[in-house]
Amino acid sequence: MMPLFGSLSTYTRADLRADTVAGVVTAILLVPQAMAFAVLAGLPPQIGLYASFLPPIVYAFLGTSRTLAVGPVSVSAIMVASALGAYAGNTEAYLGTTLVLTLEIGLIFILLAALRLGELANFLSHSVLSGFTTAAALLIIVNQVPALLGVPGVSGNTTTYTGIAAILNQRDALVWATALVGVAAMLLLLAGGRSPPALLRRSGLNSQWADVFGRTIPLLAVIATTAAVMIFDLDRRYGVATVGAVPGGLPSIHFMPLQFHLWLELLPSALAISLISYVESISLAKVLADRRRQRVDANQELLALGAANLASAFSSAMPVAGGFSRTAVNFAAGARTQIAGIITGLLIGASLLAFTPLFARMPKATLAAIIIVAAAKLIDIRTVVGTWRYQRSDAVILLLTITGVLALGIERGLILGVGLSLLSGVWRMSRPHIAVVGRVPGTNHFRNVLRYRVETWPELLFIRVDADFNFMNMRRIEEFVMARLLRQPQARHLVLICSAVNHIDSSALLELERLVIGLRADGVTVHFAEVKGPVLEGLQRVPVMRQALPGRIYMQAADAIAELAGAGEPVSEAKK
Amino acid sequence: MMPLFGSLSTYTRADLRADTVAGVVTAILLVPQAMAFAVLAGLPPQIGLYASFLPPIVYAFLGTSRTLAVGPVSVSAIMVASALGAYAGNTEAYLGTTLVLTLEIGLIFILLAALRLGELANFLSHSVLSGFTTAAALLIIVNQVPALLGVPGVSGNTTTYTGIAAILNQRDALVWATALVGVAAMLLLLAGGRSPPALLRRSGLNSQWADVFGRTIPLLAVIATTAAVMIFDLDRRYGVATVGAVPGGLPSIHFMPLQFHLWLELLPSALAISLISYVESISLAKVLADRRRQRVDANQELLALGAANLASAFSSAMPVAGGFSRTAVNFAAGARTQIAGIITGLLIGASLLAFTPLFARMPKATLAAIIIVAAAKLIDIRTVVGTWRYQRSDAVILLLTITGVLALGIERGLILGVGLSLLSGVWRMSRPHIAVVGRVPGTNHFRNVLRYRVETWPELLFIRVDADFNFMNMRRIEEFVMARLLRQPQARHLVLICSAVNHIDSSALLELERLVIGLRADGVTVHFAEVKGPVLEGLQRVPVMRQALPGRIYMQAADAIAELAGAGEPVSEAKK
């Protein structure tokens, strides 16, 4: 239940040193990012800090990933903004509803862990996830451009169209000083992501450390722009919007009254956020665990993320998950165990106690720049191109998911994508690979007559179905058999080779029975070959099937030839 | 486009004689049944006759089934009643809405035919169809008991609970004379289904004809009870409800104003009725075609059913489909071609012109008895028991579909069933059969180490996945591989045998790539064997995969042994 203790059983001084450094570096990244993501979710900036204090500590005790850094993340932040759009303007209600949403997400995680249903995440295909993330990133950018340029913008908007329209309608309201600060911060961040690591590396710094240093650029941007505001009085003289007084102190624990209708109303959003958060976190945790030959337990992760979200809800904060950029920093900075996460959490707690007065004159445009640069990294054109090259149908689903999120809103877009990818899976499942096979001369092997030179017999038809028989594909199997028999009217025996059949469902069984009876009336006897043990046991449980089956069940398809072909000579076929 | 002309190219006098007899016998059954099903749908009885005049004639021209008898059917009638419950009481609006619904169903069929999407019906599993039909039959019976007993009843009710409650609440209103007529008609029908054929057969009549004669019992019941009403003045003196004046004459063609919101409102019902009607009709057509070695074209059937429904809508009637009992009569009475259907339609048209005055004093209880006896035959306990024995999960879906229809209503129950069966299909697809295999000594065959005595090598691991790799099952495949490698830490080579893999989707490809890279870092090289042509071509289209793959691709799994096992001696395993 507490994977942390496993990590601590062999804990050394060197481990503590590495974890401390990583924890500090991650905290430096996390402070501005957490505030920015809270603003993205439509919340006051300190909420992001609250979500970065207790949740990573709770996760550290329960999570199996040693390096996953938990806190507010951009995609779920925009999902929160979209879910709570109706409450925008009423700060009290907005905050209260965020807590209910976070609590609900935590409970969903724990319920899924209890039911061991982590596998549900398997139904989110990579195409849908990639399309969803790209579209969410575009939404995030559109959502933050107003703050970057000092334009009022629309809160709680959920489609790109309304977002872009709002920006264009209010372009006259642009505050030049804000735009200047915002663009400067963005340029610093963009440059920081590239040149300094390269520069530092050339100056002899270890490349890993150069990378880590590059990640502290957000804090530098915050310090530089806040200093500029203070020195030049940009807020009072030029109207640059700042964060304003950030209440200090640790979060107080809240208890919420139970409002059933609100819980029900938020349920779809909570499910969508849980699904995305879980899949992102577990994928990230697995990639990192693979690199260090560690194992991640999917169910335990659900439990840990659930507990982290409950901790977030009880500290008046927002939904949390494993975040990509900060986990990468934590890993690159050398985190060895969950202790690094505990150190990060404690440092955020300390900053809440000591540093919040410093945030008051931080320009909002800097936070917008941090969000935009983080979101831009989520736009994944490579996957679109790669998927298009490899498989058109998946690429179409990916593009439809993007379009759906941008045009219909974030949750409906996700539902559209998941629905389409499941349908395409079902559609493919309904079209099994079926082959007429013949014997490779001189062997007992059977191969596709279209691909190999094999022997066949006019009165015998061997068909191999490379799929389980189920209600979705049985009609196609039947049609294939009937079409092939029409082309081989001398056939008197049909041998169904079931080497790839692991299961026959009850609908398929009835259709199969009907097929066997129908063909018998037509003078064709149906036999089976290479039926696997469990399938055979299933068939024998059904009295009707035992009676309906006039043919035999052969261990090997080749056994059927001696018995059924009689004196018939094989025909050597060479089709292509 | 006109399969009828194909049938007529070899038409003989004997065919005409057979078709005429069958057409007449079917019409005799159809007159009371059509009126009864119209009443079941909440419509005046003549609507059922309208639906039995032009639609079978239109179907005869376009349909590929030579013997399917098209007209109103009980299951879609109760679905119409359920869909239009909100309009009950306002005859004008109810009739108008029925026409829109019928038109919409016709257009859905034609759209599906144009898109060649008849395969969508494959997604309705036999368990769901059977459960749905059984539950609909129970609903029909509950719906008709009030009319049988002379109790007022509730129109448009859609759950059994409200239906049964209505009957119990109004049991004081029971009209004894009506109940007497109803029960007598029902006994006659029940007896007619059994004894007379046996009796007649013993008296030397051909058994097939005895069967056909048994099917005319509904008309006899109608004549006998109507005569009783006339002779004893049951309607005026004892309050037996009768059908009342049935307007004569052929239906007039109607044009409906286009009301978009109404179309949208009726769309879910129209889709549900189309799906059920199509699956019932095509299954019936296929069973009969099989018996006479004829072929049914699914797409052409969609077109023909669509046209029949359009014809029904334009003759002010109700949705039509292939009906089970009347098709069975048509077939048993010797129908050879679609000419029988045309004769049935013309006879119904003639009866509209000549006989409607005779229907005025027909007791409603007789129609209720006809409906109840027809519905009772649809209750399919055998499939419940058979499915339970063969496969619990399918039986549970069947029972949940029944419960859903009875408790939630007809459409929501259907959606529940279809959703559950698709989910169970997807769930099964996400759990592929995976086996560690070894070489059968002295051969090149590989078999499951759990089932056969085979050779394995400590540094080599052979794994065979019996399914396509896709986004739903890839994580399970990966978990299986990782778990197996943990138990065989000496393994240096993993050979994935892909003999059953016909497709790898783009999500699975990415996961596979990640697995290959992760294992390489762990000192395990991944190889592939027996990769099918199309899969190999797909893999080679992806540059990353070419680079990521340090291992080889073997034609035969056995080829890997010579190269990878080196001097290593096999271990003979005998696990069970």
Sign of CA dihedral A438, A442, A445, A447: negative
The residue of chain A nearest to residue B426, with distances taken between CA atoms, is A426
Separation in Å, CA B444 to CA A557, B375, B467, B555, B568:
17, 59, 22, 12, 17
The Cα–Cα gap between B73 and B216 comes to 17
Most B-contacting residue of A444, A505, A514, A544 (CB-CB within 10 A), to test interface: A505
pLDDT given for residue A168 in this prediction: 74
Whole-number pLDDT of residue B165: 74
A287 vs A208 pLDDT, higher one: A287
Q: Do B126 and A421 touch (CB under 8 A)?
A: no
Looking at residue B363, the DSSP 8-state letter turns out to be B
- For residue B509, the model assigns a pLDDT of 86
For the cut 60, the answer to whether the pLDDT of residue A389 exceeds it is: yes
Task: Say how far apart CA A422 and CA A82 lie, in whole Å.
Answer: 25
Tell me what pLDDT residue B576 has.
Answer: 39
Short-list B411, B375, B410, B377, CA closest to B37: B375
Query: Which residue in A123, A466, A471 is closest to B125 by CB distance?
Result: A471
Q: Which residues pair with B439 in a beta bridge?
A: B446, B455
| Encoded amino acid at A75, one letter | V
Does the pLDDT at position A448 exceed 90? no
Tokens standing for residue A2: 């507490």
**Strands B434-439 vs B460-465: parallel, antiparallel or unpaired:** antiparallel
DSSP annotation of A441 reads: T
Q: What is the pLDDT of residue A575?
A: 47
The rounded distance, in Å, linking the Cα atoms of A440 and A557 is: 12
- Most confident of the following: A290-304, B206-220, B434-448: B434-448
Across A316-338, b (16+ Cβ under 10 Å) vs e yields bbbbbbbbbbbbbbbbbbbbbbb
Q: Judging by DSSP bridges, how do beta strands B446-448 and B434-439 pair with one another?
A: antiparallel
Q: Are A536 and A553 in contact (CB under 8 A)?
A: yes
- Band of the pLDDT at A273, cuts 50, 70, 90? very high
Structure confidence at residue A253 as a pLDDT band (50, 70, 90)? low
Q: pLDDT, tens digit, for every residue of A234-248?
A: 888 888 888 887 787
φ, ψ (nearest 5 deg) of residue B554: -100, 140
Q: What is the pLDDT of residue B254?
A: 64
Buried b (16+ CB within 10 A) or exposed e, B162-196: ebeebbeebeeeebebbbbbbebbbebbeebbeeb
Residue bearing the bigger pLDDT, A571 or B72:
B72
Hey, how many other C-beta atoms are within 10 angstroms of the C-beta on B537? 10
Q: Please state, in angstroms and rounded to a whole number, the distance separating the CA atoms of residues A154 and A166.
A: 6
A509 touches B: beta carbon within 8 Å = yes
What pLDDT score was predicted for residue A496? 92
Q: Is B412 on the interface with A (CB under 8 A)?
A: no
Provide, as residue numbers in chain A, all residues whose Cβ is less than 8 Å from the Cβ of B475: 119, 121-122
User: DSSP letters along A281-309, please?
Assistant: HHHHHHHHHHHTT----HHHHHHHHHHHH
Tell me the C-alpha distance between B406 and B396, whole Å: 15
Q: Element (H or E) spanning B437, and its range?
A: strand B434-439
From the list B481, B493, B469, B470, the residue with the least C-alpha distance to B562 is B493
Higher pLDDT, A521 or A497: A497
Interhelix angle A126-149/A381-390, rounded to 10 degrees, is 150
Residue A399, pLDDT above cutoff 50: yes
Q: Is the CA virtual torsion A140, A142, A146, A148 positive or negative?
A: positive
Please give the Cα distance from B48 to B563 (Å, whole number).
Answer: 76
The predicted-structure confidence for A91-134, as pLDDT tens digits, reads as follows 888 888 999 999 999 999 999 999 888 777 778 888 898 999 99
pLDDT given for residue B575 in this prediction:
47
φ, ψ dihedrals at B225, nearest 5°? -75, -35
* CA separation for the pair B305, B64 (Å, rounded): 11
Neighbouring-strand partners of residue A435: A464
Q: Tell me the three-class secondary structure of B145-181, residue by residue.
A: HHHHHCCCCCCCCCCHHHHHHHHHHCHHHCCHHHHHH
pLDDT of residue A193: 65
Give residue-wise pLDDT tens across range A63-73.
988 889 999 99
For the cut 50, the answer to whether the pLDDT of residue A516 exceeds it is: yes
Q: Which pair of structure tokens corresponds to residue B443? A: 């051969």
**Per-residue model confidence as pLDDT tens digits over A176-196:** 888 888 888 888 888 776 655
- Whether residue B290 and residue A476 make contact (CB cut-off 8 A), yes or no, is no
Over 80: is that where the pLDDT of A212 sits?
no
Q: What is the pTM of this model?
A: 0.77
The answer to whether residue A324 scores a pLDDT higher than 90 is no
- Residues from chain B contacting residue A395 (CB–CB below 8 Å): 506
- A156: which DSSP letter? T
The reported pLDDT for the residue numbered A56 is 94
- What is the torsional sign of CA B383, B389, B391, B397? positive
- Residue B540: DSSP 8-state: H
Please give the residue that has the higher pLDDT: either B404 or A1: B404
Residue range B235-244: average pLDDT? 82
- Nearest Cβ partner for A125 among B293, B295, B471: B471
* pLDDT, mean of residues A410-430: 87
A228: enclosing H helix or E strand: helix A217-232
Identity of the residue in B124, B389, B394 whose CB atom sits nearest the CB atom of A505: B394
The encoded tokens of residue B564 equal 């990878």
Q: Which residue is it, tokens 């639906």?
A: B51
Pick the closest to residue B496 from B512, B507, B511 (CA basis).
B512
User: Quick one: tokens of B255?
Assistant: 């044009």
Q: Of the candidates A502, A428, A512, which has an alpha carbon nearest to the alpha carbon of residue A475?
A: A512
Question: Do the Cβ atoms of B542 and A514 come within 8 Å?
Answer: no
Rounded to a whole number, what is the distance in angstroms from the first to the last CA of chain A?
A: 59
Segment A204-209 long-range contacts (CB within 8 Å, at least 24 positions apart): A208/A332, A208/A334
Give residue-wise pLDDT tens across range A130-160.
999 999 899 889 888 888 888 776 555 556 6
Q: What pLDDT does B201 receive?
A: 56
DSSP label of B465: E
Average pLDDT value for residue range B164-174:
72
Is residue B386 within 8 A of residue A513, CB to CB? The reply is no
Quick one: which H or E segment has residue B335?
Answer: none
Contact B394 A429 (CB under 8 A): no
What's phi and psi for A352, nearest 5 deg? -65, -35
pLDDT of A88 > 70? The answer is: yes
Instruction: Specify the range with the lowest mean pLDDT, choosing from B63-67, B380-384, B571-575.
Output: B571-575
Q: Which two tokens stand for residue B482?
A: 């990782």
Q: Flag whether residue B555 sits within 8 Å of chain A, measured between CB atoms.
A: no
CB contact under 8 A, B293 and A522: yes
From the list B60, B51, B44, the residue with the least C-alpha distance to B8 is: B60
ipTM score here?
0.76
For position A576, what pLDDT does the model report? 40
For chain A, what is the mean pLDDT?
A: 84
- CA dist A77 → A529, A559, B389 (Å): 57, 64, 50
B161: tokens are 């609970």
Picking from A467, A466, A463, the residue whose alpha carbon sits closest to that of residue A446 is A463
**Nearest CA-CA distance, residue B288 and chain A, Å:** 10
Contact criterion met (CB below 8 Å) for B147 and B174: no
Q: Which helix (H) or strand (E) holds A321?
A: strand A321-322
Gap between the Cα atoms of B91 and B253, Å rounded: 18
Mean pLDDT of the A359-377 span: 87
A470:B425 CB<8 A: yes
Does position B309 have pLDDT exceeding 60, yes or no?
yes
pLDDT at site A430:
84
B477 close to B469: Cβ distance less than 8 angstroms? yes
With an 8 Å Cβ cutoff, is B500 touching chain A?
yes
The pLDDT confidence band at residue A452, using thresholds 50, 70 and 90, is confident
Answer yes or no: are the C-beta atoms of A96 and A106 closer than 8 Å. no
Query: Is the CB of A481 inside 8 Å of chain B's CB atoms?
Result: no
List all residues 6 or more positions away from A496 whose beta carbon is below 8 Å from its beta carbon: A463, A464, A465, A526, A527, A528, A529
Contact B522 A425 (CB under 8 A): no
Give the pair of three-digit tokens for residue A419: 């629905």
Higher pLDDT, B206 or B442: B442
Torsions phi, psi of A252, nearest 5?
A: -95, 150
Residue-wise pLDDT for A520-567, tens only, equals: 878 888 898 888 877 888 777 766 566 656 677 887 888 888 887 765
Nearest CA to A320 out of A91, A59, A81 is that of A59
Residue A233 at interface with chain B, using a CB cutoff of 8 Å:
no
**What six digits make up the tokens of B349?**
């048209």
Using alpha carbons, list the distances in angstroms from residue A33 to A26, A70, A375, B391.
10, 12, 12, 53
Tell me the C-alpha distance between B118 and B429, whole Å. 23
- SS3 state of residue A556: coil
Residues in B touching A391 (Cβ below 8 Å): 505-506, 538
B521 torsion bin: left (phi>0), alpha (psi -120 to 50), beta (else): alpha
Q: How confident is the model at residue A199 (pLDDT cuts 50, 70, 90)?
A: low
N-term to C-term CA, chain B: 60
- Work out the average pLDDT over B104-122: 88
pLDDT at A73: 93
Q: Is the minimum CB–CB distance between B283 and chain A shorter than 8 Å?
A: no
* Residue A155 φ/ψ, nearest 5 degrees: -90, 150
Tokens 């399914």: give the residue: B467
Residue of A273, A218, A274, A291 whose CA lies nearest to A68: A291
Confidence at residue A547, expressed as pLDDT on a 0 to 100 scale: 64
Mean pLDDT of B36-47: 91
